[in-house]
Chains A and B, each alone.
Chain A
Amino acid sequence: MDPVVDATDVSVVLDGEVLLPPTSLRVHPGTSLAIRGRNGSGKTTLLRVLAGLMGATSGTALVGGRPVDERTPAFRRTLAALIGPPAFARDLTVREHLRFIGHSWGLSSTQADASADELLERLGLTALAARFAHELSSGQLQLFSLAVTLARPCDVLLLDEPEQRLDADRREMVAAVLRERVTAGCALIFSSHNGALISALAENTITVAEP
């Protein structure tokens, strides 16, 4: 089976500063890869390159067999990512965000409702369904950020330190939800400093060398 994400020697150098040393990785559908490395080693930069948010200065990156280009509808359909906090709509509740995202990807109103409710329950957010984003704590916002990222369909999921600001119970809950996605055929690439999460989720790991 062809890899759904295939990066060869991608690197980012800005004005002589190495933000990401040459790095290669391959991930197949239904598998997961953890990216390890010290703070500042380039983990987030690598994810940004794969998500099409930043251009690599050398090397090649393919997602779904095509060069990374977030402007193409096919790429947008293939890849979902959580890299930094998403911008939430100030006038939509937690549940409405999930419903609206599902609806925008073609779910009917009923399907979007059911999908949103299931995701809220799996991530322990049901009690917060009627809150606005500005009414959530930082940990709740992290769970909500994961929820909106998972509310849309995708073949490749990129997550930058999904364990941020979560307690041990929530981390286990998130790991279980992500494991299900991988079992369903999604390719997961995530950066993390948490050994327990990496053990629970990752089949493979790479370590980004310090620039």
Chain B
Amino acid sequence: MTGARQFLRAARDVRAERAGRPAPADIAYAIYVGVFAGLIVLSPVVRLAILGLLEAEPQLSSPAVEAVLRVVLGALLTALVAVGGTRGPVTPTSFYAQFVGASALPRRLTLMRPYLLSASGVMVVVLSAAGLSVIAVSLLGLASWDSALLFLAAVLLYCLLLSAGWLLGQVLSSLTTLIVVVVLALATAATVVVEPVALVTPWGWVGRLWPGTVVDGAFFWWPVLALAATAALALALVPILLDRLHGPTLVQQARRWESVGMMTTTGDVAGALGTFRPPPRWGRRLHLRLPRSRFAAYLVRDAVGALRTPARAALACAVLLSSGWLMGCVYLVADGVRWAPALAAAVLAFLAVGVFSDGARHAAAIAGQPPLFRATPLQLAALHTPFPAIIATVFLGAGAALTSFVGAPAEAIAWAVLLGIFLVLVRLFDAAKGPLPVELLMPVPTPVGDVSILSVIVWQSDALLISLIAAGGLTWLMPGSFGTAALWLAASTAAVIALAIRRYRAADAPLRADRPRRLNADDAAGSLDDEDARAL
């Protein structure tokens, strides 16, 4: 084994030499930037989160927290297992995956370090969130320090399980993963509906230890012991799972992740996200009937298209349902933390609606090409809008409706549906995004270094930011006046439609020799012609 370790060390040294070892000045600069980023970005967020949580005293000490924790933790495990097949915890560089992963050494040895790195990332994120909640509960005097520490210990043990679950998703075949994901999702739902199920699930054990509801002195040691036993089992399984990782899967995921990193660095986020869209492989025999009405024909065409990647469509529907539930939860939590479910719901719905926006992306892709279809790209994009709008309406509405059983008003359903339709239009706008304008790469020197990256990030994530701003504004206005909130959403919708029209028309404008094409060129937007106006 010593020889193996020497081999690994030598391989890592060669790789480090190839990549160029960072100079001490580089390390110092990274620390300098990290400290400033922490002070400028992270500390206000942490402060805001704690202040918000402090306002939520009744909710934090409510018995309902335990159920919410069960759902969140169960859903997290389910999501990590589901994600494993696309991006598992073991995703080294393709060089490492090819030459070290494929060596004669056991993979439990060669791949342990990348796994531990990913596992520690999970731990940092989950423990940070748990730590914030525990700080708030302790400051409110709802919990003693020992019950808080016990809860954090339970979360730590659960993190070991999460990482192992993520690895399991990377090892299993897609069919087996689907089965495991369905079982976990059902078990998560069961822990809420059937209380005794919570006694036999790890996320139920963690929920049991929530310090806000634990009575002082009455520690539940058995959930910690059960979690410790489960985590020990998971740890024992890790080397076995690492040995069972398939070489081609490792290389494929490593290459995909590298290309995602490269595309993101160069501003091609759409391309990066595209690498996660699985191409359809089945459902080719599904008969595509073409009704005479164009509207109906595109609706049927989009539905058949979605059915051809069933796992992706099913996952998106589940995410939309969860997002709708979170939108309903906005009415159930304290004012100070209302933004948290609202923004989480907007992000989830934005991602899920994207799954049903392949049609809009195709419409944008044919812009600037000789016409194959009678309709213009903008009209085509508009014709591809009803299907995702219907899906968003059904699943977001259903998710929000679930919260009406626990006290959310019926208007939550209306807001969820309207926000869903708005996000479909944002996706339509996002589909026609062009390449990154080179002007954004110009250096912007400041005392904390070059901040040109900020404008690049804003440009890359404009659609998501628009979604968050719209959802945030809506959440802020909703409790006050229905009319003002409706006006805000209507104005946001009108702005997004105008921006979308501008982008599609620019993308389809003829290339001028003296003015090269850029999809979002300012000059290319003109007045609406009648056909485009009717299309929207």
Which A positions have Cβ atoms within 8 angstroms of B?
12-15, 19, 48, 51-57, 70-71, 73, 76-77, 79-84, 86-93, 96, 99-101, 103-106, 108-109, 112, 130-132, 134, 148-149, 151-152, 158
Contacts and interface: CB of A to CB of B under 8 A. Distances in A.
Interface in B257-302: 277, 279-281, 284-285, 288-292, 294, 297, 301
B308 A104 contact: no
Given A86-B366, A132-B279, A134-B279, A53 B288 contact: no
A54 B368 contact: no
Contact of A13 (B289, B290, B291, B513): B513
Given A86-B370, A101-B372, 20 more contacts: A12-B513, A52-B510, A53-B510, A77-B374, A79-B370, A86-B369, A87-B362, A87-B369, A89-B358, A90-B279, A90-B358, A91-B305, A91-B308, A100-B373, A104-B374, A109-B291, A130-B284, A148-B372, A149-B370, A152-B371
Interface in B294-340: 294, 297, 301, 304-306, 308-309
A108 B309 CA distance: 28
Nearest to B365: A87
A57 B514 CA distance: 8
B66 interface: no
Contacts of A12: 513
A53 B305 CA distance: 29
A57 B375 contact: no
B293 to A, nearest CB: 11
A202 B235 CA distance: 73
B358 A100 contact: no
A132 B280 contact: yes
Interface in B356-401: 358-359, 362, 365-366, 368-376
B512 interface: yes
B531 A73 contact: yes
Nearest to A108: B292
Contacts of A82: 370
A104 B288 contact: no
Contacts of A130: 284-285
Given A13-B513, A92-B301, A53 B370 contact: yes
Contacts of A100: 288, 290, 297, 301, 373
Nearest to A48: B511
B523 interface: no
Contacts of B430: none
Contacts of B371: 70, 76, 80, 152
Contacts of A104: 294, 373-375
Contacts of A151: 372
Given A55-B512, A104-B375, A83 B370 contact: yes
Nearest to A81: B370
A14 B531 CA distance: 32
B511 A55 contact: yes
B295 to A, nearest CB: 12
Contact of B513 (A57, A70, A80): A57
The 8 closest A-B pairs by CB, nearest first: A91-B305, A81-B370, A87-B365, A109-B290, A54-B511, A104-B373, A55-B512, A130-B284
A158 B371 CA distance: 12
Nearest to A79: B370
B439 interface: no
B290 A99 contact: yes
Nearest to B370: A81
B374 A53 contact: no
A1 B280 CA distance: 49
B280 A90 contact: yes
Given A53-B368, A71-B529, A132-B284, A14 B373 contact: no
Residue from the set B289, B370, B531 with the largest chain A CB neighbour count within 10 Å: B370
17 contacts: A13-B513, A19-B513, A48-B511, A53-B370, A53-B510, A70-B508, A71-B509, A71-B529, A82-B370, A83-B369, A90-B277, A91-B280, A91-B305, A91-B309, A104-B294, A109-B290, A151-B372
Given A90-B358, A90-B362, A54 B510 contact: yes
Contacts of B308: 91
A85 B257 CA distance: 27
Contacts of A132: 279-281, 284
B453 to A, nearest CB: 30
Contacts of A158: 370
B284 A93 contact: yes
A131 B529 contact: no
Interface in B83-127: none
Contacts of B305: 89, 91-92
Contacts of A88: 362
Contacts of A48: 511
Nearest to A73: B531
Contacts of B370: 51, 53, 70, 79-83, 86, 149, 158
Contacts of B513: 12-14, 19, 54-57
A96 B370 CA distance: 19
Nearest to B279: A134
B297 A89 contact: no
Given A53-B368, A92-B301, A70 B290 contact: no
B511 A103 contact: no
A19 B306 CA distance: 43
A162 to B, nearest CB: 13
A99 B511 contact: no
A29 to B, nearest CB: 19
B297 A103 contact: yes
B284 A131 contact: yes
A134 B372 CA distance: 19
A99 B375 contact: no
A86 B372 contact: yes
Nearest to B367: A87
Contacts of B309: 91
A100 B374 CA distance: 11
A76 B292 contact: no
Contacts of B277: 90
